[in-house]
Amino acid sequence: MRPQVRRGSLSFVVFLAAVIFVCPGGRSADQKPQSAPNTAVKVSGEVSHPLTLTAADLAALPHQNVSADEKTSRQRYQAVAVVDLLRRAGAPLGSALRGSNMRLYVVVKGRDGYAAVFALPEFDPGFTDRVIVLAYLREGRALGPVEGPFRIIVPGEKRRARWVRQVTDIEVRSAQ
């Protein structure tokens, strides 16, 4: 009986050591350690004036107050309209959004490599009343490191899969 008990506890120790060795720090592959959060958003691609905006640049732009329903409550965000950023970067909007410019789409990328696509007219007030925004405050507070400093909010969209967190890039591209 005794030797078996010892063998049992020895294999448990070996198992524990293997777990500690295989999972250093208990991190899984999709939770990479990250350095300081991004503090700027780049607007680039098929635009005449590519830009990089810092948090201070964004806060100086005209802001929108947007409400969005969360699971159990309604949250208020302070944000800039993405169309204002696209306009500043010189993306074709308004009367220029026709013809071959109807091929344009916008890829919004997060710091973790996540990305979501929007058609350019989804931002244009000539096409829709829905205002897609880049938020930086919720209930008056800066967004935390998992979401912020900047997050896309798509009011009224049933699923939040395009609410890209930790936005680093807004890229205008053309479909073939």
Ligand X SMILES: Nc1nc2c(c(=O)[nH]1)N[C@H]1C(S)=C(S)[C@@H](COP(=O)(O)O)O[C@H]1N2
Residues binding ligand X (CB under 6 A): 110, 112, 114, 160-161, 163-166
Q: Which is nearer to Mo ion, 116 or 137 (CB)?
A: 116
Query: Residue 20 CB, nearest distance to ligand X (Å)?
Result: 28
d(CA 102, CA 88): 19
**In sequence order, what are the beta bridge partners of 149?**
none
Cβ pair 146, 114 in contact under 8 A: no
In the complex with Mo ion, the residue whose CB is nearer, 79 or 164, is 164
86 vs 152, beta carbon nearer ligand X: 152
How far apart CA 34 and CA 113 sit, in angstroms, is 12
Q: How far is the CB of 166 from ligand X (least distance, A)?
A: 5
The distance of Cα 157 from the centroid of its chain, to the nearest Å, equals: 15
**Binding-site partner at residue 86 among Mo ion, ligand X, none, CB < 5 to 8 Å by type:** none
Residue 115 interacting with Mo ion (CB under 5 A): no
Q: What is the DSSP string of 30-92?
A: TS----SPP-EEEEEES-SS-EEEEHHHHHHS--EEEEEE-SSSEEEEEEEEHHHHHHHTT--
User: Toward ligand X, which CB reaches closer, 110 or 149?
Assistant: 110
Query: Could you give the string, one character per residue 133-162, with x where binding to Mo ion holds by CB under 5 A and - elsewhere?
Result: ----------------------------x-
Positions in the binding site for Mo ion (CB under 5 A): 161
